[in-house]
Structure formats: C-alpha cells, structure tokens
Amino acid sequence: MCKDIKNRIEELNTDLVLQETKIDVVLKEIKTFAIKIDSNSTSKFRQLLNDLQHYKNEYNCIKTQLKTFNAYQVSH
C-alpha cells in the first residue's frame, strides 16, 4: 500500500511538471498572438486563453491530489 502511494505521488509530480510546461508554452503563444489584431490571431488568442484555463484547472486538480496523497502518506 505504501509503495502504491509513493508511486502515485511520483506520477502526480510528473503530471504536475507536464502541466507547468503546457502552461508555459501557452503563455508564450499568447504573447505572440496578443499583439496581432487580425481575425485569425484573435481566434487563436481566444483558443489559447481557453487552453490556459483548462491546463490551470488540471494543474490545480493534480496539485490537490498530490497534497492529499502526501498528507495520507505522512499520517500512515
């Protein structure tokens, strides 16, 4: 059981880093499209903002799971 929790914590840490990377990539793309004003750029900008919100939500979910597993591991 303890090994399973440690494995899950490692997976969550990896997932957290992946989400951070996705967020960084989207933020860089947002900077590129934020200064353009044509309709394609505006659509892409909106899509990137939606992606950012999605990745942020996933990041927060993973972070919450990680905190929960860490707390559980400490208590057992």
Q: Where are the domains of the chain?
A: 2-69
The CATH code of domain 2-69 reads: 1.10.287
**Contact assessment for residue 73 and residue 5, using Cβ atoms and an 8 Å cutoff:** yes
Per-residue pLDDT tens digits for 13-58 = 999 999 999 999 999 988 887 777 777 888 888 899 999 999 999 9
pLDDT (0 to 100) of residue 72? 82
Residues 9/71, Cβ–Cβ less than 8 Å: no
Tell me which residue has tokens 């929960």.
Answer: 68
Which stretches within 1-76 are classed as H helix? 2-34, 39-75
Q: Is the pTM of this model over 0.75?
A: no
pLDDT of 64 strictly over 90: yes
